[in-house]
Amino acid sequence: MATYVLVHGAWHTGELFEDVAAPIRAEGHTVHCPTLAGNRPSDPRSTGLEAAIASLVSYLEDNDLTDIILLGHSYGGMVITGAADRVAGRIRRLVYWNAFVPNDGECLNDMVPPHYVGLFDAISSGSRDNSVMLPFPVWREAFMNDASVEAAEAAFSKLNPHPYATFTDPIRLTKSPAEMEIAKSYINCTEDTALPQSLGWHPRLSEKLGLFRLVQIPGSHELCFTDPKALAAAIMNAGRD
């Protein structure tokens, strides 16, 4: 049996992965769903990318987790990449689920279209703490487009403002992902339009992993809400030996 660590994306907490974790645990695996620094409701929104990465590294070390399958969703791809660079010996495989794949010196905003950068710049400048919240129309049409409006509203109510510095801070790596010797997988939801499909997740970002296993599955960017069992099956497929 394997140990999975599921790392959420922006605006989320680890608790929102519990419906995905349950079917994986039912197969006999151990699953951890930590919440990154900056994403707990009480956390300061001044948190930067390095602090978020450090919080994941501390979680792995404090729980003495080794031989893990480490999954990152969306923004979580930035964080798992940083963790892999710092504690590679604890990780069996990296799994990116429609996630950002940074090379050394890149920030998340380097990988999104200009209209998103402009949107988040405007939102953060209007906040008191440099946080950003995703506008509901974007969530409904681009992130959770495979659900009813009622389901989208219910999920949206569980989100938290996100520290914008984690989008603008460049990551510092000793090795970019393609150079890492850790095994890698990429899960691509084929109806995910959180990024325009002309500038989409796969193959534009996935190919930055070098050698990797591809798992494709129908669904949106928020399959954790709309079909957690299907996502759990894809994660186990991506994480298998």
- In total, how many domains does the chain have? 1
pLDDT greater than 90 at residue 41: no
Does pLDDT of 82 surpass 90?
yes
The CATH number assigned to the domain holding 59 equals: 3.40.50.1820
Closest to 221 measured CA to CA, from 135, 145, 157? 145
Instruction: Kindly report the pTM of this predicted structure.
Output: 0.98
What's the pLDDT tens digit per position in 173-206? 999 999 999 999 999 999 999 999 999 999 999 9
Note whether 81 and 56 are within 8 A (CB): no
d(CA 80, CA 70): 7
Q: Which of 16, 229, 223 is nearest to 99 (CA)?
A: 223
Q: What is the residue range of 126's domain?
A: 3-239
Q: What is the pLDDT of residue 127?
A: 94
At residue 87 the predicted structure's pLDDT band, cuts being 50, 70 and 90, is very high
- Taken as a whole, the chain contains a residue count of 241
- For residue 93, what is the enclosing H or E element? strand 91-97
Round the average pLDDT of the chain to a whole number and report it.
98
Coil, helix or strand at residue 218: coil
CB 130 within 8 A of CB 164: yes
Please report the pLDDT score of residue 235 as a whole number: 99
127 to 9, 50, 107, 142, 151: CA distances (angstroms): 20, 22, 21, 23, 27
For the cut 90, the answer to whether the pLDDT of residue 13 exceeds it is: yes
CA 136 to mean position of chain CA atoms: 19
- According to the model, what pLDDT value does residue 31 have? 99
pLDDT classification of 238: cutoffs 50, 70, 90: very high
CA–CA distance, 131 with 126 (Å, rounded to integer) = 9
pLDDT > 90 fraction of the chain, expressed in percent and rounded: 98
